[in-house]
Amino acid sequence: MSRVLVLLATRHGHTRRIADFILAQSPVPPECEWHDLLAGVPQPSLPLVAYERILIVASVRYGHFPPALTAFVRQYRAQLATLDVALVGVNLVARKPGKDTPSGNPYLRKLLVTLDWQPARCIAVAGALAMPAYPRWQQLILQLIMRLTGSPVTRATVRDYTDWEALAQWSAGYWQAAMPAR
C-alpha cells in the first residue's frame, strides 16, 4: 500500500470531491495523510521521503492559491525536488480550451514562476459554481467575472465545470506511472 500526503484547499467542497476522485482511481487504496492548506502551513507527521506521493489539490480564490501552499513549497523546496509531487489547481479559467496546462493556466503559471518550481506533475482542473451558497457580494463579483469571460450565470446557477472523463484519464496515468524522469 502506498502512503500519500494529501494537501487540500477547499472552501465549498468541490476541490475535496476532485481529490477524492483522483484517490479513488488508484488500483490499490492508498494510505492518506490529509492536511488542510487553509489552516496554515502543513506539518506532516513524517519526513517527506516517507511518502510515496505528495498530492496537492488546491482551488483558486480571487486570483490566488492559498498562501500556505507557497510557504510549504518554500520550506520544503529541496526535498520536493526529489519527490513525486503532483499539483492539481482548481479554478474556473481551466474550463476554457488550452487553460488546463501549467503554462496555459494563468494561476498555475504565475505560481510556478513565482516559486521557480516545477512539480513532477501538474494540471489545472475546472471547478464548480454553486451560486446560492455564496454571499450576495461574492455572487455579484462572480457574475461579473463569468459575464466578462463569456459564460454568464445567475444567482441560481449551480454548475459543475469539471471534465471528469479527462480527470479520470489523468488520474490513471498518475497512478500507473512511476515518478517521471527529472
Ligand X SMILES: Cc1cc2nc3c(=O)[nH]c(=O)nc-3n(C[C@H](O)[C@H](O)[C@H](O)COP(=O)(O)O)c2cc1C
Residues that bind ligand X (CB under 6 A): 10-15, 59-63, 90-93, 127-129, 134, 138, 142
* Nearest distance from C-beta of residue 150 to ligand X, angstroms: 13
89 vs 119 by CB, closer to ligand X: 89
> Contact 126/18 with Cβ under 8 angstroms?
no
Residue 138 CB, nearest approach to ligand X (Å): 4
Cα 44 to Cα 35: distance, rounded to the nearest angstrom: 8
Torsion on CA atoms 41, 42, 43, 48, rounded to nearest 10: -120
- Residue showing the smallest CB distance to ligand X in the complex: 127
133 or 179: whose CB is closer to ligand X? 133
DSSP string, 76-112: HHHHHTTS-EEEEEEESGGGSTT-SSTTTSHHHHHHH
For 61, other C-beta atoms within 10 Å of its C-beta total 14
- Residue 120: CB minimum distance to ligand X, A: 23
Residue 7 or 120: the one with the smaller Cβ distance to ligand X is 7
State in angstroms the smallest separation of the CB of 3 from ligand X.
24
Nearer to ligand X, 6 or 129 (CB): 129
